[in-house]
Amino acid sequence: MSPDRRTAVAAGLLFLLTEVSAIAGAVLYRPLLGAADGALPQGADTRALLGALCEVVLVVAVAGTGAALFPVLRRHGEGLALGYAFGRLLEAALIALGIVSVLALVTLRRTAGAPDGADTALVALHDWTFLLGPNIALGLNTALLAYVTYRARLVPRPIALLGLIGGPLICASAVAVTFGAYDQLSPAGAAAALPVLAWELALATRLLAKGFTTQRPGSGTAY
């Protein structure tokens, strides 16, 4: 197996891992964030801790995609490759901050005599990190990677176009949420996230199945 093929397989697996861990984490810890008046639903703390563990896996996978793809992207622009790698690190850091807020919320709701309003502040912190990380930072990183793969023809153009559409769309949706146009967890917010989900699944499938599109030496024809 060539180095590029190994890179493609690693990146494809990491992209799939980001999807699985992100969805599993959100499903597990969301009931804790929605608990009214500090009341902890039965088993919500345990599920939240499992969700936080899934988010730790997500952080590693997100940062890993930037590191895995760097050698390939660098051939098509070192600045773009560095931008993507550091962009994924920023995205991972914001997700990690959100994990800390969830863990702090678990501790707070297990503690008697916690300050009034502290749980609300932690939920708000999580919501903002979720908006800035898996929305705005993700959208920018998606657009950057899709641009490089489209320009360099590393993957079929339709797949790259999904990212070029999905990245800006999820960023625009995050701005709309910021100004109160609709809630982040709403039909409109979910619809805006679908193209990015489709992009990552299509990209992962392509990388695992066939790897990167290569060029014949001395020609512009992909094969």
In whole angstroms, how far apart are CA 167 and each of 29, 37, 47, 68, 99? Answer: 26, 36, 31, 20, 23
Residue 94: is it exposed, middle or buried by C-beta count within 10 angstroms (0-12/13-18/19+)? buried
Can you give 146-193 as a three-state secondary structure string?
HHHHHHHCCCCHHHHHHHHHHHHHHHHHHHHHHCCCCCCCCHHHHHHH
Lowest mean pLDDT among 55-59, 62-66, 70-74, 219-223: 219-223
pLDDT value, residue 222:
41
Q: How confident is the model at residue 59 (pLDDT cuts 50, 70, 90)?
A: very high
pLDDT in tens, 91-138: 999 999 999 999 998 888 777 666 667 788 888 899 999 999 999 999
pLDDT in tens, 10-45: 999 999 999 999 999 989 988 888 764 455 556 678
pLDDT value, residue 39:
55
pLDDT value, residue 42:
64
pLDDT at 223 over 50: no
Can you give 8-58 as a three-state secondary structure string?
HHHHHHHHHHHHHHHHHHHHHHHHHHCCHHHCCCCCHHHHHHHHHHHHHHH
pLDDT at 178 over 80: yes
Of 109 and 83, more confident: 83
pLDDT in tens, 130-166: 999 999 999 999 999 999 999 999 999 999 999 999 9
pTM: 0.89
- Mean pLDDT for 177-206 is 92
In whole angstroms, how far apart are CA 151 and each of 103, 141, 154, 156, 180? Answer: 42, 15, 8, 11, 36
In whole angstroms, how far apart are CA 183 and each of 11, 80, 156, 220? Answer: 32, 33, 34, 46
Q: What residues does each domain of the chain span? A: 3-209
pLDDT averaged over the chain? 88
Of 174 and 120, more confident: 174
In whole angstroms, how far apart are CA 141 and each of 17, 31, 102, 152, 157? Answer: 17, 29, 25, 17, 18
pLDDT at 203 over 90: yes
Grouping H, G, I as helix, E, B as strand and the rest as coil, residue 209 is: helix
pLDDT value, residue 220:
42
pLDDT at 9 over 90: yes
pLDDT value, residue 17:
96
